[in-house]
Amino acid sequence: DKTVSLRKDLSEMHEWITQAEEEYLERDFEYKTPDELQKAVEELKEEATQKEGKVKLITDSVNSFIAKAPPAAHEALKKELDVLITSYQRLCSRLNGKCKTLEEVWACWRELLSYLDAENKWLNEIELKLKATENIQGGAEEISESLDSLERLMRHPEDNRNQIRELAQTLTDGGILDELINEKLEKFNTRWEELQQQAVRRQKSLEQSIQSAQETDKTLRLIQESLAVIDKQLTAYIADRVDAAQVPQEAQ
């Protein structure tokens, strides 16, 4: 009987709608890996597309039957179809909303990774700079140039780090990839703090080296000036044929 077959199809679609509402819409965000999140987005899209064709097929079948059957035979069936279409449209609207939310979450995750990548590249530069200034040799001017270079590198805007905090908070508040994100953030923040502390210590060390080099330069300059005076005086003695015995202090 055609009516029985159509009602069976309608019943199966009602069951699917109920199951979909429980499985896809009532389920909290529990995605722990990016693969799970991406898979959820793809499944929702695929499921909605498949059932869209199924609903269209059932609708066409019911309408075709109604067009040929007398009113008494199709009135109840028409009501069931109307209920199904209303339920399906409501489900599709909710599925699309959920899918859009998951896509936004996925975009948020990708954005978080891009900021982490940018900040880690900057931390790599800090690490290289710290190694380059570890045992720096030279005078006050050379050391001062190294200090200026380090300080310029340290004047890094906080914007990226703020974005990392905000994006991570948004995701973990929804329970999305929380374990993975917390692990990445802990690793990043630990490295950031360690390199910041090393950089501060290196700045102080370079400042002390500059001061020490300046004092050394000053001492050498005074010695050179003193030697120049002595040299001039001794040269004058030689020119005047002054005997060393006559000026024992200078001779000594």
213 token code pair: 């080099």
Q: What is the mean pLDDT of each run of 10 residues along the chain (252 residues)?
A: 73 80 64 76 75 77 74 74 82 78 86 95 95 84 90 90 93 82 93 94 91 89 92 86 73 58
Nearest to 109 by CA among 171, 185, 159, 165: 171
pLDDT for the residue numbered 148: 93
DSSP string covering 32-83: -SHHHHHHHHHHHHHHHHHHHHHHHHHHHHHHHHHHHS-HHHHHHHHHHHHH
pLDDT for the residue numbered 140: 85
pLDDT for the residue numbered 9: 77
pLDDT for the residue numbered 2: 65
188 token code pair: 């990043």
Cβ neighbour number for residue 133 with a 10 Å cutoff? 19
Q: What is the Rg, in whole angstroms, of the alpha carbon atoms belonging to the chain?
A: 40
> Model's pTM, two decimal places?
0.69
- Domains of the chain from N-terminus onward: 2-212 (1.20.58.60)
